[in-house]
Chains A and B, each alone.
Chain A
Amino acid sequence: MALSTASRLGIGIISLSAVAFLVLSSPDEGVLEYVYADTVVETPEKFMDREFKVHGNVVEDSLRQNPDTGEYHFVIEYKGKRLKVVYDDLLPDTFAEGGEVVLTGRLDPGGGTVRSSEMSAKCPSKYEEEPGAPPPQAS
């Protein structure tokens, strides 16, 4: 005597609904696109209304801090294309002008500035990656 048809049907429906519910209520920003600064500069329309990750090199001498708000302003570039950044969190340990950073943020309506609160920075000097090395990010 195996499971009755009613039981099987019931189990099937409950499982499928549970999975469907989870999938449909997925958070928008669970999956982010990861691009380089030049792509954002060339096609800003694609990045208008969502969060994304942008990778670029910090331009030397571009770092300023707004003394009232604590916001940092700097410029990142990739393959010659530049993007302004307004960053309102604490700078990560490994941040350095000339170094590579990956910012998570949104594009301003104007299309030329990225507002971000999350940044990870790679140290400009190379070191051999070893197991358990700490994430160089502040997030």
Chain B
Amino acid sequence: MTASRSFWVLVALSFAVATAVLLGLSFGVGVSLDAPTFALAAACVVMIWALRAMWGVVVALSRPAVETLIVEAEMAGALGRDSVGVAELREEKRRVLRAIKELEFDHAMGKLSDQDFKQIGDRYRLRAIEVIRELEPSEGAELHPLLAEHLAALRSATGKAAAS
């Protein structure tokens, strides 16, 4: 059972148990539906979650290592998320692009000298290119338009430098 489906099953089960406990207590035992009763029902539900979570530990331990990785990748895929390596790269890409934007803003506001802006900016942009290249197989042509411009400019600049 995939992760998200099992989650919803758990939620449904919780509701069912809570309702059963409440009904059982009020009709079966004749206890009134007041705060302590609800608290008791809630405690039962939480206990189920706790037991389920402890079972999760056992399950995780019982899998051989290889299967763990496969399950992880599957889960990630099912939830629309990336596998571990890709996630780390995406994270870095986000960081670097945000850093470039902040640099541009600081420069526009006069907090960064032209020289620093060029120097630090170039370093970030090169790193961005590296990261995007690594991501390329899964990314496709998903380049930020600004970055595509810079890339093109840098390529022609380095091309000129290499040629001279």
Q: Do chains A and B touch in the complex (CB under 8 A)?
A: no
Interface residues of A (CB under 8 A from B): none
Interface residues of B (CB under 8 A from A): none
